[in-house]
Structure 1
Amino acid sequence: MSSPSQRSDSAGGFVLAVSLMIGTIIGLVAGQPSLGFLAGLVVGAAIAVMIWLKGRR
């Protein structure tokens, strides 16, 4: 088990959740909530992976 000092302080899950909400809201305005949700998922997942990769260094 890793010690608390080695734990990453970054939180990619927050970025993912916010991007899902923003994508859904934009999709609702455009009349395509499912497409907005999926776009938010893709963007949020990409940002979360970048944060995770940066934290591994």
Structure 2
Amino acid sequence: MFHCEFDFKFDYEFDNEFEFLFHCEFDFEFDYEFVFLFHFEFDFEFDYEFELLFH
């Protein structure tokens, strides 16, 4: 079984925030979960934070 969720939010005119959430999980003979969280803030100084969770 393969299950994949994709959540995309983009707001540029107000807060200049870019949020990307990707969740993907699949099970063949063992449990495997992959969570990828990417958050990007653009305030003309190119500040961003990146978080990767893998388990």
TM-score over 0.5 for the alignment?
no
Going by fraction, where is strand more abundant, 1 or 2?
Answer: 2
TM-score w.r.t. the length of structure 1 is: 0.31
TM-score w.r.t. the length of structure 2 is: 0.32
The structure with higher relative contact order (CA 8 Å, sep 6+) is 1
